[in-house]
């Protein structure tokens, strides 16, 4: 219960500090980003640019709308796909992993955590970057899972210029 309350408070602080999505004249400030111009079928934006901040929706290990055969039961392969998907969203905003301030990881089994980190970590350490603040949460299941092709990891990020 305490973790849930803390999470809700964090979201409220972020919303309060960022303010409304329009300026005083009613102009749009929040700008949705769609890497490669692809819009998802669900009602969300892959990312929202708000001033110098980029809020990236949770990315799952989909390539062209599905989990590739080689990654269906492999946390390392799924993590690599997710990180590459995140890299594309960051690039669309003119950013890199150097701009990432916060990451939130949803993983279906914390027993995968070590293998997840083996893939996730080098995106910063290979470039000599400081990894962002991060939260990791074990969840029962993730959207996009299909029989024989479970989504094992999802990552969302906040980045800034």
DSSP secondary structure string for all residues of 52-90 = TEEEEEEE-S-BTTB--GGGTT-HHHHHHHHHHHHHHHH
Residue 3 lies in a domain: no
**pLDDT computed for residue 14 by the predictor:** 46
Cβ-contact 62, 35 below 8 angstroms: no
- Residue 125, domain CATH: 3.30.1330.40
Question: What is the spatial distance between Cα 19 and Cα 31, in angstroms, rounded to a whole number?
Answer: 14
Residue 150 lies in a domain: yes
| Cα three-residue angle 85-88-92, rounded to 5 degrees | 145
Question: What is the spatial distance between Cα 47 and Cα 31, in angstroms, rounded to a whole number?
Answer: 8
Per-residue pLDDT at 7 exceeds 70: no
Residue 19 lies in a domain: no
Cβ-contact 105, 75 below 8 angstroms: no
Domain that holds residue 70: 24-160
Mean pLDDT of 128-149: 94
**Residue-wise pLDDT tens digits, 58-107:** 999 999 889 999 999 999 999 999 999 999 999 999 999 999 999 999 99
- Total structural domains in the chain? 1
Residue 148 lies in a domain: yes
As separate numbers, helices (DSSP H) first and strands (DSSP E) second, the chain gives 4, 6
**Residue-wise pLDDT tens digits, 101-115:** 999 999 999 999 999
Residue 17 lies in a domain: no
Residue 98 lies in a domain: yes
- In angstroms, the Cα distances linking 146 to 44, 55, 56 are 20, 27, 23
Residue 41 lies in a domain: yes
- In angstroms, the Cα distances linking 15 to 12, 85, 93, 126, 134 are 5, 25, 21, 33, 19
Residue 93 lies in a domain: yes
**What's the predicted TM-score (pTM) here?**
0.81
């Amino acid at each position: 219960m305490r973790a849930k309350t803390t999470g809700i408070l964090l979201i409220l602080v972020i919303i309060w500090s960022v303010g409304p999505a329009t300026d005083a004249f009613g102009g749009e400030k929040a700008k949705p980003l769609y890497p490669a111009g692809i819009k998802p079928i669900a009602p969300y934006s892959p990312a929202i640019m708000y001033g110098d901040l980029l809020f990236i929706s949770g990315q799952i290990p989909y390539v062209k709308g599905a989990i590739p055969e080689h990654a269906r039961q492999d946390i390392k392969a799924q993590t690599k796909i997710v990180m590459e998907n995140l890299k594309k969203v960051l690039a669309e905003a003119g950013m890199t992993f150097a701009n990432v301030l916060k990451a939130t990881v949803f993983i279906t089994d914390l027993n995968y955590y070590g293998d997840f980190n083996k893939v996730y970590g080098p995106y910063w350490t290979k470039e000599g970057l400081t990894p962002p603040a991060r939260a990791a949460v074990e969840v029962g299941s993730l959207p996009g899972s299909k029989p024989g092709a479970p989504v094992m990891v999802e990552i969302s990020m906040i980045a800034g210029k």
